[in-house]
Amino acid sequence: MQNLVRANDPISIPAKIAQLDKELKVYRDKLKTTKSPAVKKNIQKRAMEVLKRKRMYETQRDQLAGQQFNIDQAAFGIESAKASVSTVAAMKSANLVRHEIFTLVGDFVISSFNLD
């Protein structure tokens, strides 16, 4: 039961890969010391199965990393759009204030010319 890898638990994938690496090392060591061809063939077969599982987990890890990158990019895009919206709102507000100031200054200049 403890070897079960849950899809929503990304921490367990690297742990599983590390465990499979340890298993592969044990098989490599056994292959170096074993002299019987039949036993070697059996060890090689088990090592290949472990290697296939390791590659499967590495592929899953890489896919999760790619998905996480895509999610992060989407979040960055959303934050950038929000910043753009607030910048445009601030620019509109500043333009209204500028227009009011120019109107007041223009009225003051016109009234000062009319006083003469």
- Mind listing the pLDDT tens digit for each residue in 82-112? 999 999 999 999 999 988 888 887 767 666 6
- Determine the number of helices (DSSP H) and then strands (DSSP E) in the chain: 2, 0
Provide the residue range defining the domain that includes 59.
Answer: 12-114
Query: What is this structure's pTM?
Result: 0.62
Tally of structural domains, the chain: 1
Q: Is residue 3 part of a domain?
A: no
Cα–Cα distances in Å, from 19 out to 33, 47, 50, 93? 22, 13, 10, 60
Q: Is residue 24 part of a domain?
A: yes
User: What's the pLDDT at 64?
Assistant: 93
User: What's the pLDDT at 81?
Assistant: 96
Q: Is residue 7 part of a domain?
A: no
User: What's the pLDDT at 6?
Assistant: 52
User: What's the pLDDT at 110?
Assistant: 64
Q: Is residue 2 part of a domain?
A: no
- The model's confidence at residue 59, banded by pLDDT at 50, 70 and 90, is very high
Q: Which two tokens stand for residue 72?
A: 């992060």
Task: Encode pLDDT of 27-46 as tens digits.
Answer: 999 999 999 999 999 999 99
Higher-pLDDT residue of 65 and 114 is 65
What mean pLDDT, rounded, does the chain reach? 87
